[in-house]
Amino acid sequence: VSEWEALRVYMEQGPSALPPTPPREHEEGTLEYFYFARDTYKECHGVISYSGWWLLQLFTGWTIPCYIGEWFERLPKAGFPKAVREWSKPLPPEQWTKPSDELLSQSAAINAAFTTGLSFPEYFKSPLAAFQSPADAAPVKTKGKGKRARNRAAAEARAKSEQPASNKHDQHSND
């Protein structure tokens, strides 16, 4: 649901609605990452540990794997066929459809609800709003201390919670 909501907001408000991009992180395997890791290791460890790290890098090719990885990244990638590229070109603005008044009013209503602190499921009074994640659930008391006892108790708790739901389903199917 959240992916569709993100797509809807992007389609309605454009790129300006996107959150700011996070600061650039060093991608593992690049030269920047290697030098960052080297400097960090040098600052955080003693001379003996740093010497061991240096020796390990010497035996593993130092920065040669980084250069090979960057070379592979620069190789041309397989592209889309010309027909797909032509079809994918953006439409000129005069061919764009205008949003309906109903869509605009619904978008304004949900945006107003979001500013008051409501979540997406709460706005639609979805059963997802009442969902309790397993991490928030009360801990299961077990008879034994082992993993099998915990798994058995968790399975029994799940069976008890699922049983009334299946009985309700059976009652509705008999109507």
Q: What is the pLDDT of residues 70-104, one digit of tens each?
A: 898 888 888 889 999 999 898 898 988 888 999 88
Distance of CA 71 to the CA centre of its chain: 29
CB 153 within 8 A of CB 140: yes
Q: Which residues of 29-57 are buried (b: 16+ CB within 10 A; e: fewer)?
A: ebeeebeeeeeeeeeeeeeeeeeeeeeee
155 burial (CB, 10 Å; 0-12 / 13-18 / 19+) is exposed
Residue with tokens 């979001």: 114
Token reading at 139: 């801990």
Q: 10 and 72 share a domain?
A: yes
How many CA atoms within 13 Å lie on the side-chain side of 66? 15
Q: 14 and 57 share a domain?
A: yes
pLDDT at 84: 92
Could you read off the pLDDT of 100-153 as tens digits, one per residue? 999 889 888 888 888 888 887 788 776 555 555 554 555 555 455 566 666 677
Q: 12 and 69 share a domain?
A: yes
Q: 141 and 123 share a domain?
A: no
Mean confidence (pLDDT) of the chain: 77
Q: 6 and 64 share a domain?
A: yes
First to last CA, the chain: 32
Q: How far apart are CA 13 and CA 94, in angstroms?
A: 18
Count up the domains in the chain and report the number. 3
Q: 25 and 72 share a domain?
A: yes
Full residue range of the structural domain in which residue 175 is found: 137-175
